[in-house]
Amino acid sequence: MKKIGFLMLAAILTAAVGIAEPATVYVNGPASRITPDDPTEVYYFHMTRRCMTCQTVEKVAEQSIKELYPSAVQKGSLIFKSVNIEEKENKALVRKLNIGGQTLLIVNGKNRHDITDKGFMYAVNEPDKLKAEIKLILDNYVK
């Protein structure tokens, strides 16, 4: 009986470790610096009906980008896009990036960073932490 309990505990802990892995996805190795032909895009994918938290994630992400990198935003090398996944004109982008629901995603070339979990964890009560997470990633791409 103790052996079964131990095995169940081990299985639960193994599953928990898998859940806690970072959401950063590097398609072709570590992140590389931005090039003029390779703008960095920050997407907030959402549905038509949105709760207060969903709206706050978008607002904090967009404000953070504009405050942290005003010249990159002005030059067009850093772009924020709010995308309604239910609208027909956005279906191709949703399919291309394999989006299934509300998602806060940073894309530079083939590098993708999904920070949705951090967005929903920090946007409402600790927006400065979300801003810091965004900066941590974007500093790799924006000078």
Residue 18 burial (CB < 10 Å; 0-12/13-18/19+)? Answer: exposed
Query: What average pLDDT does the chain have?
Result: 83
Q: CB of 9 within 8 A of CB of 117?
A: no
Average pLDDT for 57-79? 97
- Lowest-confidence pick of 15-19, 63-67, 79-83, 88-92: 15-19
Q: CB of 78 within 8 A of CB of 65?
A: yes
Whether residue 22 is predicted with pLDDT greater than 60 in this model: the reply is: no
Q: Which helix (H) or strand (E) holds 113?
A: strand 111-114
Strands 111-114 and 78-84, how do they pair?
unpaired
What is the CB-side half-sphere exposure of residue 128 using CA atoms within 13 A? Answer: 0
The pTM (predicted TM-score) of the whole model is 0.75
Whether residue 24 is predicted with pLDDT greater than 80 in this model: the reply is: no
Superfamily (CATH) of domain 24-138: Glutaredoxin (3.40.30.10)
Whether residue 23 is predicted with pLDDT greater than 70 in this model: the reply is: no
> Which pLDDT score, from 0 to 100, does residue 4 have?
55
Selection from 82, 92, 80 nearest residue 47 by Cα: 82
> Which pLDDT score, from 0 to 100, does residue 143 have?
77
